[in-house]
Amino acid sequence: MSALSCEEAIKCCSEPDPATKDFLFQQTMYRIKDPRVSLDFYTRILGMRLLKKMDFPEMKFSLFFMGFEKAEDIPKDEISRSKWALSRKGVLELTHNWGSENDQDLCYHNGNAEPRGYGHIGIKVSNVDEVCERFETLGVKFVKKPNEGKMKGVAFIQDPDGYWIEIFNSDIVASCH
């Protein structure tokens, strides 16, 4: 058994249909147990901003759209803010089902335990070692530190719900291939 070659991978791909020219990978969604804990983590630890919050009282859940945007770019009126937040690239949608924070037995599957499926999101940083030193002082849980394992210079941390987050530098990862 071996990996798919670059040539085989290219042959498997099609040129995008013109009908898809306006498609945008906009968001990934994580279910969260406690928004107070998760919002603190994604803003204070990772430096994201809350782009938009939406409540759905009839279905008893809230959405928190998180991203790396400048505060001054976030529109003030709510309709413009909603449209803007839903047009950004690389947004993380945190979904909170009301009351889940009170369920001591609730634990979301992060995709990395059996049966495996979803893996992680990735955050590009300028200096993995410095960022991870900061994470250590803040008490962030590590799955893998930058100098552990076979893939050096890459780290994996966990958010409050156990989802994995890869911390990498694009120059270092690109030089591995």
| Residues with active-site annotation | 166
Measured in degrees and rounded to the nearest 5, phi and psi for residue 171 equal: -65, -40
User: How far is CA 160 from its chain centroid?
Assistant: 13
Opening angle at CA 146, ends 144 and 150, nearest 5: 75
Please list the alpha-helical segments (H only) found in the chain.
6-12, 35-40, 78-85, 128-137, 170-175
Nearest to 74 by CA among 83, 150, 143: 83
Report cis status (omega within 30 of 0) of the bond before 115. yes
